[in-house]
Amino acid sequence: MDPYKDIRPYHDEEIRPVLDTLLKDRDFIRSIASFSHPRLFRWLPSLLTMVTRQRLSAQLKDVDSVKSMQDVIAGYMDQMIERTTSRLTNSGLEKLSHDKSYLFISNHRDIAMDPAFVNYMLYHAGFDTLYIAIGDNLLKRPFVTDLMRLNKSFIVKRSLKGRDLLKSSKQLSEYIHHCIDIKRNVWIAQREGRAKDGVDRTDTALLKMLGMARRPETLGEALQALHIVPVSISYEFDPCDALKGDELYQKQETGAYQKDEQSDINSIVTGMIGFKGHVHVAFGDELALDATMDDEAIAASVDTQVISNYLLQQTNLLALQQLQKESPASVPALSEEGRQMLSALQADPVTESNFNARLAAMPAGVQRHVRLMYANPVISRFAVEEPD
């Protein structure tokens, strides 16, 4: 019996049959063709579909295991990084042990690229690659589910309710503990959905779910067994900034934002192919938890590291400077360290020009939300609480 078969990634013996099925899936091949060559596809869809199938068949002909699939994906990542980033850096990897497995709890900016960048850093440092949590709300088509499970992703069933949700949460908790027990690294976001406003906060419901597998142990004891390491991912430019700003603006103006079937796919593709500038992945310290800690205390421990380890980019500081000029009363007071960092900013002219050009291309109502999205990591770290 395989208690995790409906949510786990594919095993070695399943990789080749799934790939063979995908290569015969017209919907999948057409999607790849249109994604790779959108203009040409409009004129020559049949020819491009045929060429895409032949190219993928050649690239994947020797893939017959999880490892060989990961090697192919690493090659794609190399190409994507070369095209869409100016620098890719990391910190904290030296604190990780090759003899342990970890649950990496990460801030969440991009649907696909957050775990991909963490994975890339681990892969090139000689660590085992990640098992990645992905919500079923993103798996609109069968071939998307297959692609994710080929890439060591496991499914978080967010669409369930009531008892079904409780049962699924327990299964998910048990699976994550199982992965750690058998020395597999796991990635999960600190909250459901991306932090579109740039405010990184851990959802305590996530922590409670992670503890379900080891009841009646205390939450602190249960989570200590997962070797939790907070991770902070920082993008100089967020390819989805305009999309996020538009969503926040619509919610402000109308009280709602209506997604269509293409919204998530559009965000995934935009995040993959859009320019990101400097990307930094910061690995924190393994959490030291004890039996007395509750969900709020553990969440605070994660948040402290995520916020303090986040690499503040020039775009974060530029956005805050602009907000201070436009509407100083709307920006909270900063600590002395924060004020000094802001006053010492000597922005690279190209970076500042690119940032301002991005903003200028957005509707006026969206611009403020985007500035605040970039500024909030600075505010989160340096804001001074006003006395009651």
Percent of all residues in the chain with a pLDDT value above 70, rounded to a whole number: 99
Q: How far apart are the C-alpha atoms of 156 and 250, rounded to whole Å?
A: 28
pLDDT of 274 above 90: yes
Q: Supply the pLDDT for residue 41.
A: 87
Confidence of residue 388 (pLDDT cuts 50, 70, 90): low
155 near 163, Cβ under 8 Å?
Answer: no
Mean pLDDT of 216-241: 97
Mean pLDDT of 42-54: 93
The partner residues of 56 in beta bridges, in order of sequence, read none
Q: Which residues contact 333 (CB under 8 A, 6 or more apart)?
A: 383, 384, 386
136 near 155, Cβ under 8 Å?
Answer: yes
Among candidate residues 282, 192, 292, the one with its CA nearest the CA of residue 230: 282
The residue with tokens 């994550």 is 176
Mean pLDDT of the chain: 93
Q: Supply the pLDDT for residue 262.
A: 74
CATH topology of domain 66-309: Glycerol-3-phosphate (1)-acyltransferase (3.40.1130)
Q: Supply the pLDDT for residue 387.
A: 57
pLDDT of 386 above 70: no
Mean pLDDT of 110-118: 94
pLDDT of 385 above 80: no
Residue type, 148: M
Q: How far apart are the C-alpha atoms of 132 and 149, rounded to whole Å?
A: 9
Rounded to the nearest 5°, which phi and psi values hold at 324? -65, -35
Q: Supply the pLDDT for residue 260.
A: 74
Residues in the chain: 388
Mean pLDDT of 153-163: 92
Confidence of residue 227 (pLDDT cuts 50, 70, 90): very high
Buried b or exposed e, range 338-376, using 16+ CB within 10 angstroms: beebbeeeeeeeebeebbeebbeebeeebbbbbbbbbbb
How many CB atoms sit inside 10 A of residue 53's CB? 19
41 near 35, Cβ under 8 Å?
Answer: no
Q: Supply the pLDDT for residue 39.
A: 87
Q: Which residues contact 173 (CB under 8 A, 6 or more apart)?
A: 209, 210, 211, 212, 213
Q: Supply the pLDDT for residue 377.
A: 98
Q: Supply the pLDDT for residue 261.
A: 67
pLDDT of 378 above 90: yes
Confidence of residue 334 (pLDDT cuts 50, 70, 90): very high
Among candidate residues 118, 110, 40, 42, the one with its CA nearest the CA of residue 275: 110
Confidence of residue 258 (pLDDT cuts 50, 70, 90): confident
Q: Where in the chain is the domain with CATH 3.40.1130?
A: 66-309
Highest mean pLDDT among 59-63, 192-196, 304-308: 304-308
Q: Supply the pLDDT for residue 259.
A: 80
pLDDT of 289 above 90: yes
Q: Supply the pLDDT for residue 141.
A: 83
Structure-token pair, residue 329: 């009363």
Query: What pTM was estimated for this model as a whole?
Result: 0.93
Q: Supply the pLDDT for residue 230.
A: 98
Confidence of residue 14 (pLDDT cuts 50, 70, 90): very high
For the chain, what percentages of helix, strand and coil (3-state, to nearest 5) are there? Answer: 55, 10, 30
Confidence of residue 328 (pLDDT cuts 50, 70, 90): confident
Rounded to the nearest 5°, which phi and psi values hold at 282? -110, 120
Q: How far apart are the C-alpha atoms of 60 and 379, rounded to whole Å?
A: 46
